[in-house]
Structure 1
Amino acid sequence: MFKVLDITKNDVVAIAVDGKLSKSDYDKITPLIEKTVRDYGKIRLYIQLDYVDGIEPKAFRADIKTYLKFFNNMKKIAVVGKTHWEKMWSGLAGPFVSGDIKYFDYHEIDEARKWIK
């Protein structure tokens, strides 16, 4: 599931992932992204992968759809993770966004938060 983090402010949308992602998670977070895009045009996205237990097929489609919908609205994306798989996955998102994507290891959370701001 997604949890909105306290650094969500102005053009920064910050979420933590904990558990298995479902389409309903995207149904909840997409309106926040849409509002931020309406208010600021370009946004910065911070994704903290606390624990990922998988992604349902409908959620995977929603993930791709979200990236495509906001392709030109992403200024920066910071991904914080713990595994090689998460690092690889964040690299695969590159073709789906126009902004910079940078992966940070979990022990670099402070650096990731500074970079996204």
Structure 2
Amino acid sequence: MFKIIDLTKRELIAIEVEGKLTKADYDKITPLIDKAVKDFGKVKLYIQLNNLDGIAPGAFWEDVKTYLKHFNHMKKIAVVGKSRWEKLWSDLAAPFISGEVKYFEFTAIDEAREWVKD
């Protein structure tokens, strides 16, 4: 599930991710991304992966569709995680956006938050 966190402001959307992601999760977050793109043109995402249990096939497809739809609208994506699998997930997103994607370990959470704000 996605949880919006207090770092969210203007063109920056910040979320925590927990459990197994489903299509319903994307049905909630995609309109927020769409609105930020409409209001600001380009957006930044901060994604903090807390105990991610996986992603359902339908959710994976929604993830890809969101990135493709907003290919030119993503300025930066900071992904904070704890495992090689989570780093791989962030690396897979890179070809689907024109902006920069950077992975941070949890030990560098403050650095990730500063990087995505700039």
The alignment's TM-score, normalised by the length of structure 1, stands at 0.98
How is 1:1-117 mapped onto 2 (pairs within 5 angstroms)? 1-117=1-117
| Deviation (angstroms), 1:77 | 0.4
SS of 1:93's equivalent in the other structure is helix
Name stretches of at least 5 consecutive residues in structure 1 with no aligned partner. Answer: none
| Deviation (angstroms), 1:107 | 1.2
Q: Greater CA deviation, 74-83 or 86-95?
A: 86-95
Name stretches of at least 5 consecutive residues in structure 2 with no aligned partner. Answer: none
Residues in 2 aligned to 1:92 and 1:55: alpha-carbon distance in whole angstroms:
14
| Deviation (angstroms), 1:88 | 1.5
Number of aligned residues = 117
Deviation per CA, 1:11-56: give whole Å up to 9, x if none: 1001110100000000000010011000100000110001111111
Identity %: 65
Spell out structure 1 runs of 4+ moving beyond 2 A. Answer: none
Residues in 2 aligned to 1:24 and 1:93: alpha-carbon distance in whole angstroms:
20
Give the root-mean-square deviation of aligned CA atoms. 0.6
